[in-house]
Structure 1
Amino acid sequence: MSASNGMQQSFNPPGTEGAADQYRLSQAMRVGDMIWVSGQVGVTPDRTVPDGIEAQTRLTFENLKTVLESAGATLDDVVELTLLLTDTSIDLEPFYRVKDEYIRPPYPAITGFGVSSLALPGLLLEVRAVAVAGSAANR
């Protein structure tokens, strides 16, 4: 089935099946060229949460990259990010420094929210994304 036919397609890259089954979700859904990515967090494949915003941000964007690639897109195709933070007083400079290693200009729209907690203890942030596959082809 071609993604351009307007049918919904679910994507769960290798290594994410456990979370997808446990939480009854798709890591990404694609309809045509539009891709909606579930919130990604900074956890290792064995579900370890590293300490610190920088380490969690790096893993979060690695996980986001993997999910987007499984759905036929790249980080350059991201048009919107939503950031959830468990501590809005945290220094976000490490987050932006790492994000800028993965997300190049023109930067996507970003919305941030403060939340009381996330799915696993110790998580500091979660990032969800919307992408349009192939939209960055002429960059």
Structure 2
Amino acid sequence: MGSIFGPAYSSRLLFIAYHRRIGCIPRFQKEPDHQRAMASILEKHGLKFVNPADGQEVADQLHFSHAVILPPNARTVIISGQVGILPDGSVPQSLEDEYDEAFTHVENVLRAIGFGEDALEYVFDATFFLKGGMDPSLLVEVARRRFKSTRPATVGVEIAQLLHPDLHLEIKVVAYMPDSVAA
């Protein structure tokens, strides 16, 4: 078992350097100022997202935070691993559809608890289990699109196989529960 993104900055840097070398990830491109200025909905609830100066560039590229500080007495919910299986039990044909479906399952669990349409915006911690040998750049792209303005603390773990042999991704998240969500 190896680390895709790795919990340490040096692991992330090696990940980026390797995937840039093989052409999976382009050179760092700074996000436009209007995207950097976008505040996460979680910041309005007192959560603080922290990136060290020497880690900001990789955090911008991969759309994550190195650390998330919760306010005192914050309520949280842990969502167990969700995969991209369709309602009929089949696995989508494309990886992007499978990844999107896994995010949809996370979103559906949050909505079942009482979160609204912006459910994924409350995720502050995400762990991605990705089948070995898979290019993680598509996952980064889908996560950036689905998480929108929030940047969860993120760990990517490369695994040999998921329980269903045709699946490539499992997502486990932790979300902040605002007072408006009555569980």
Is 1:124 the counterpart of 2:133? The answer is no
After superposition, the C-alpha distances for 1:71-101 in whole angstroms (9 at most, x for unaligned) are 12311110100000112x3222222222222
> Using a 3 Å threshold, how does the CA distance of structure 1 residues 134 and 72 change in structure 2: closer, same or farther?
same
Matched, 1:100 2:144: yes
DSSP 3-state at the match of 1:117: coil
Out of 17, 41, 52, the position equivalent to 2:94 is 52
Q: Deviations over 1:33-72 (max 9, x none)?
A: 3110010000001210123321111101111110011112
Unaligned runs of 5+ in 1: 1-31
TM-score, normalised via structure 1 length:
0.68
Aligned residue number for residue 34 of structure 1: 76
Is residue 115 of structure 1 aligned with residue 159 of structure 2?
yes
Gap runs ≥5 in structure 2: 1-73
Q: Secondary structure at the match of 2:151?
A: coil
State how many pairs are aligned. 103
Q: What SS is found at the alignment partner of 1:82?
A: strand
Structure 2 length normalisation: TM-score?
A: 0.52
Percent identity of equivalent pairs: 29
- CA distance in 2 between partners of 1:104 and 1:60 (Å): 16
| Greater fraction helix | 2
Aligned partner of residue 109 in structure 2, secondary structure: helix
1:64-103 correspondence runs (5 A): 64-73=106-115, 74-87=119-132, 89-103=133-147
From the CA coordinates, give the structure whose radius of gyration is larger: 2
The equivalent residue for 2:104 is 62
Could you list the structure 1 runs, at least 4 aligned residues long, displaced by more than 3 angstroms after superposition. none
**Is the partner of 2:143 in helix, strand or coil?**
helix
Checking the alignment, whether the CA contact within 8 Å between 1:35 and 1:71 is kept in structure 2 is no
Work out the CA distance in 2 between the residues paired with 1:65 and 1:128: 11
Q: Please state which structure has a larger fraction of its residues in strand.
A: 1
Matched residue of 1:112: which SS?
A: strand
Q: Which residue of 2 aligns with 1:25?
A: none
